[in-house]
Structures are given as C-alpha cells and as structure tokens.
Amino acid sequence: MELSPAVIDSLSVVGDSAHVPDKCYQKLLDAAFNGEAAFSGVDQAILKEAYAGLVSCIIEATKHDTEAASLEAVLEDCKFTADRTKAFIASYQERKQILQILLGNVGVTPPHIVDVDWRLDYYIKNNHLEKVNEAVYLISLKTEVPGKPGIQDVQFSCTQEQLQDFVGKLKDATKCLEKISSSQ
C-alpha cells in the first residue's frame, strides 16, 4: 500500500494525541469508517486534515486488501500509539468486507460490446469534390452498460485503412488482456 506524503502527514496528525485527543480519536475513526464527521472542541483545520488522512488510508488499505501487519507498520510510522493502532485495525477488519463491496461499486464501468453491425458505403462524389471514389465503413457497436437497461449503440465511420488499424489495436488489446489473465 502506497500513500502520498500528504496522507502520511495527515495520518501523523491523527496519531499525535496533542492534535487529536484520545476521547475524540474513536469518534473520528468511527466517522471515517461510516462516512460522517461532526465534532466540537477540536480545531477544524486539524480535524479536516485528520479526517482526510484517515479516509484516504482506509480507502487505500481496502483497495489493496492490506493485511493487518502492513497496516500496523504504516500507522506506527505515523506516530500512532499501540491503542490507536489496535482500534484502527479492529475497525478496519470489522468493516473491510463491506468497504470492499462499496469500492467495487464506485467508478465508471466501460460498456461491454455485445454485437457489431456494419455496412460498406462507396462514395462516388460529395458536395465538395466531383470525384471521390472512396469506400467508407459504417460501424455500429451494440453495447450494454452495467446497471443500465437496454442496448446502446456506438456508431462511427472509417476508411479501410482506419478499420484495419482499429482491428489491429483490438487484437493488441486482446493479447495484453490474455497475458494479464494468464499471469494472475
């Protein structure tokens, strides 16, 4: 798990009981895991930084399925006491599965191509030129987007050279995906 220097600094603020008192730490930790923040009596700038650091750490740890030992090492580097580290890891492990499900639902999933329609048109002339004599392929990709009902069309036109380039790039992408799936 890699955290940016800004997140490390924010976590260091959380780990320091001079900035975030022990009585507020558990509330802050619960708020970070539950997605809410409402505190009084704590410097708001420090609270924002601490909250951002905790949430960033939680998201990164969840995204990378970080083990407790690795997480403990990161928190110790950020001046967390043993009690704070133990509380963080307990909260993390308790909510890890739910957070992973939630993170799986975040983001834009690209559409899946389910069918292709095409046609070949041959232009003899157009509005600008008297003689064109060019073949143009009209491609319609039928796609489905997860979470959206129905099939959507992605349409484009291309020349034979552009179509050959497109097919070559699709073959390259397929080979890359095969290499990735075979290495895992």
Quick: pLDDT tens for 1-51. Answer: 777 777 778 778 778 777 777 777 777 777 777 655 556 666 777 777 888
| Cβ atoms within 10 Å, residue 57 | 25
Which residue from 61, 50, 86, 53 is spatially nearest to 2, judged by alpha carbons?
A: 61
Q: What pLDDT, in 10s, does the model give residues 92-114?
A: 999 888 888 888 777 667 788 89
pLDDT value of residue 41? 65
- Angle 5-15/68-77 helices, nearest 10 degrees? 80
Rounded CA separation 102/95 (Å): 11
Q: What is the CA radius of gyration of the chain?
A: 27
Extract the tokens encoding 120: 């070949």
Rounded CA separation 77/11 (Å): 9
Give how far Cα 134 sits from Cα of 14, 117, 130, 160, Å: 66, 20, 12, 9
* For residue 120, pLDDT beyond 90: yes
Q: Is the pTM of this model over 0.85?
A: no
Residue 127 one-letter amino acid: N
User: Which residues are bridge partners to 136 per DSSP?
Assistant: 121
